[in-house]
């Protein structure tokens, strides 16, 4: 659908741009010369493609400034297993030998190649297993199995690419379509044709699960309705389901939920192997046990019947081979895990795939699982008398922590035993973010200077102390550790309000008090975090007849008239942009209603053409009267631009492109599909076209 609309999603924009720069030296040189200085904020959250883009553009002038955090994973008193006993992780040095596992199930030794440390402020997760307790930052990785008990219930967050997110509940164990007992969320994902699922809570009773399902749905504005009605006989049939998920902001609401619960978007508790919308490449540590070595090779594997993906992979140089049941596969192994990961990331970029990271210990598969994703009843690997064996998670607790944290890179194994639990290396919370980008920045730019930013210049110490005291009790946020030289400061006055209206009344009373003391109205300001908070305050100010102004207000690019203007530009440049074209149909008002648009949509679908092409056949589609006149007004506005240049959907990867010489106009376009030669339309001058085009009304 994106290709049909000549559009790309965010991942496509990154991958195509990187590929274009790599394959077109003249284009790369042009932009290296244009961007002589580069600043990247939140660099720890960049993925591999974004990092490549930075390195490519910054290579010529070496003027790159990156800002980022390097939070690690485990607390300083974590006991790391070594051949001679345990050692606190803060005392481990490069070259020390530590114990981990390499796939055979035997706990073996390997050298530490890197020790990383930083200061961390925020929640840490404590995992209790067989009397052992491992404490670490939310996204520290362990190897886990999604094992639950049959008498339990699960509340989950489910995602489907073409619909959005929903909340649901299910039995922990239930039968699939063949009658086999499976983990409940896996069965539900298959039934809903979903792409990912995260377990929010494991409950002991159906009533408890029902409570938490309703609580999450109400708190975060996420529906509990299913994704499809096929064969279910639901009163809310598919058109209503589609409308529900279309009108709710499930993406934004789910993102907030995941941030609050420290859920990592790249590590769902389950994703199907080959979904229709988003397929996966399996990257499995130690799964190639050639030669019987205790440390296996690392296998990258993709298998599917998607010939379009196979063609892209083959064109990129991957060895695509036939497989069973008319499918194809790509499969290779690497002795080095970083090499295997790099190859998997390249395959994922080319094929539009996601990476499923896991490990094979003996003959069982364990998925990479952040500490914050563990739930009681799940199973992790522990060191028991020199063997990596399964053990049940008994408790998961959250506490606040401020201080140093550590992580290790272990040669060959990439695992180590921490407080008795087999652990992997840390990851970051945003999609595809790679810790190595910030850690290896100095390798890419050897002359780089490191500046640590810890001082706060905005607030007094009084404000910082109060803020830190509040944040320390909030388990769902990730505050920064800041200090200031601005000692003292005015004392903070605290008022306990019953609700937002009580708060608004108190604020107005304070404003009146200050005004009575001689301050002007304009000397007083009320700050709030979100625009939604201003409504109640404004109502109270109006009631008290206090003059006020809202500073900031709606952001410029979120104003309706600006969005309309941008939609016009997008539709003029790209006639197949259906979303933009539909937005401008009634801007200004042309009397074209939803019924008329629906008829044009239906005509386009039945004739296999785009919405823009169907606009020319509005009368054939059943559009009459004022609506037909409005459609003709729209096409008379857009025709001069569309007729002046050809258009075809952009290729997936442009192979030949040069920056346009801006000293001369674009020329040479002479043809355009015949459907744009509308009856009675003529080529007008630029000035007459400008007069007929819509001009946004200025608003205050």
- pLDDT tens digit sequence for 195-235: 999 999 999 999 999 999 999 999 999 999 999 877 677 77
CA distance 648 to 116: 50
Strand partners, 379: 145, 392
Question: Tens digits of per-residue pLDDT, 548-570?
Answer: 887 766 655 566 788 889 999 98
Question: Tens digits of per-residue pLDDT, 24-50?
Answer: 999 999 999 998 888 887 676 677 788
CB atoms within 10 A of CB 123: 19
CA distance 395 to 2: 45
Residue 20 is given by DSSP the state H
For the ranges 67-81, 191-205, 427-441, the maximum mean pLDDT occurs at: 191-205
User: Mean pLDDT, to the nearest integer, of 496-512?
Assistant: 92
Question: Tens digits of per-residue pLDDT, 152-182?
Answer: 999 999 999 888 999 999 999 888 777 788 8
CA distance 397 to 123: 10
The b/e string for 67-95 (b: 16+ C-beta within 10 A; e otherwise) is: ebbbbbbbbeebbbbbeeebbebbebeee
Q: How far is CA 632 from the centre of its chain?
A: 41
Verify cis geometry, omega within 30 degrees of 0, for the bond prior to 588.
yes
CB atoms within 10 A of CB 429: 22
Q: What is the mean pLDDT of the chain?
A: 81
In angstroms, how far is the first alpha carbon of the chain from the final one? 38
The b/e string for 576-615 (b: 16+ C-beta within 10 A; e otherwise) is: bbbebbbbbbbbeebebeeebbebbbebbeeeebbbbbbb
Question: Tens digits of per-residue pLDDT, 579-625?
Answer: 888 888 888 888 888 888 888 988 988 888 888 888 889 999 999 88
Sheet holding 164-171, edge to edge: 164-171, 153-160, 196-203
| Ranges in the chain annotated CATH 1.10.486 | 562-692
pLDDT at position 8:
74
User: Mean pLDDT, to the nearest integer, of 639-661?
Assistant: 50
Question: Tens digits of per-residue pLDDT, 520-548?
Answer: 999 999 988 766 677 788 889 989 999 98
Distances (CA, A) of 131 to 44, 82, 400, 421: 35, 20, 21, 11
Q: Where are the alpha helices (DSSP H) in 169-266?
A: 184-192, 206-220, 238-247, 250-260
Topology (CATH) of 562-692: PCRA; domain 4 (1.10.486)
Residue 306 above 90 pLDDT?
no
């Amino acid at each position: 659908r994106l290709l049909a609309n000549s559009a790309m999603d965010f991942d496509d924009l990154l991958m195509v741009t990187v590929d274009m720069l790599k394959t077109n030296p003249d284009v790369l040189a042009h932009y290296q010369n244009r961007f002589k200085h580069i600043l990247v904020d939140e660099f720890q959250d960049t993925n591999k493609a974004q990092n490549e883009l930075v390195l490519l553009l910054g290579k010529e002038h070496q003027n790159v400034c990156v800002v980022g955090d390097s939070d690690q994973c485990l607390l300083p008193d974590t006991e790391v297993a070594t051949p001679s006993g345990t050692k606190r992780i803060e005392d481990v040095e490069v070259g020390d030998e530590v114990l981990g596992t390499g796939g055979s199930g035997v706990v073996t030794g390997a050298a530490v190649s890197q020790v990383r440390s930083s200061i961390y402020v925020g929640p840490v997760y404590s995992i209790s297993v067989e009397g052992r307790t491992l404490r670490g930052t939310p996204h520290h990785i362990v190897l886990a199995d999604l094992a639950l008990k049959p008498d339990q219930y699960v509340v989950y967050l489910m995602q489907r690419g073409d619909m959005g997110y929903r909340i649901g509940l299910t039995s922990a164990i239930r039968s699939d379509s063949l009658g086999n007992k499976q983990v409940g969320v896996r069965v539900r994902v298959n039934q809903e044709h979903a792409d990912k699922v995260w377990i929010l809570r494991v409950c002991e009773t159906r009533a408890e699960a029902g409570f938490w399902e309703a609580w999450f749905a109400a708190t975060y504005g996420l529906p509990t309705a299913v994704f499809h009605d096929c064969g279910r006989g639901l009163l809310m049939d598919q058109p209503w389901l589609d409308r529900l998920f279309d009108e709710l902001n499930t993406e934004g609401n789910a993102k907030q939920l995941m941030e609050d619960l420290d859920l990592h978007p790249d590590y769902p508790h389950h994703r199907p192997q080959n979904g229709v919308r988003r397929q996966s490449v399996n990257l499995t540590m130690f799964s190639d046990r050639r030669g019987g070595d205790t440390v296996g090779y690392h296998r990258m594997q993709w298998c599917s019947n998607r010939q379009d993906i196979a063609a892209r992979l083959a064109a990129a140089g991957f060895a695509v081979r036939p497989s069973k049941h008319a499918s194809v596969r790509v499969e290779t192994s690497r002795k080095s895990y970083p090499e295997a990961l790099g190859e998997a990331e390249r395959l994922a970029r080319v094929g539009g795939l996601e990476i499923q990271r896991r490990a094979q210990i003996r003959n069982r598969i364990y998925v990479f699982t952040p500490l914050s994703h563990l739930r009681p009843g799940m199973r992790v690997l522990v060191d028991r008398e020199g063997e990596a064996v399964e053990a049940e998670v008994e408790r998961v607790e959250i506490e606040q922590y401020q201080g140093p944290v550590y992580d290790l890179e272990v040669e060959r194994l990439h695992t180590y035993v921490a407080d008795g639990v087999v652990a992997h290396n840390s990851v970051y919370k945003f999609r595809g973010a790679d810790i190595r980008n910030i850690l290896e920045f100095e390798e890419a730019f050897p002359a780089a200077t490191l500046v640590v930013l810890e001082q706060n210049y905005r607030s007094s110490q009084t404000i910082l102390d109060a803020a830190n005291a509040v944040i320390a009790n909030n388990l769902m946020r990730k505050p920064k550790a800041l200090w200031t030289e601005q000692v003292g400061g005015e004392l903070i006055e605290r008022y306990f309000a019953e609700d937002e209206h009580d708060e608004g009344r108190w604020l107005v009373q304070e404003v009146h008090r200050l005004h009575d003391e001689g301050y002007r109205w304009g000397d007083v300001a009320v700050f709030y975090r979100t625009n939604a908070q201003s409504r109640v305050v404004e109502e109270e100010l109006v009631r008290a007849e206090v003059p006020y102004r809202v500073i900031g207000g709606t952001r410029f690019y979120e104003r309706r008239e600006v969005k309309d203007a941008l939609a016009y530009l997008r539709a003029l440049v790209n006639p197949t942009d259906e979303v933009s074209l539909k937005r401008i149909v009634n801007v200004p008002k042309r009397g074209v209603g939803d019924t008329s648009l629906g008829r044009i949509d239906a005509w386009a679908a039945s004739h296999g053409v785009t919405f823009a092409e169907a606009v020319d056949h509005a009368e054939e589609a059943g559009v009459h009267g004022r609506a037909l006149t409005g459609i003709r007004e729209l096409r008379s506005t857009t025709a001069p631009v569309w007729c002046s240049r050809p258009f075809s959907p952009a290729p997936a990867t442009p192979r030949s492109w040069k920056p346009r010489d801006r000293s001369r106009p674009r020329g040479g376009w002479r043809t355009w599909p015949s459907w744009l030669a509308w009856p009675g339309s003529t080529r007008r001058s630029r000035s007459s076209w400008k007069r007929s085009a819509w001009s946004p009304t200025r608003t205050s």
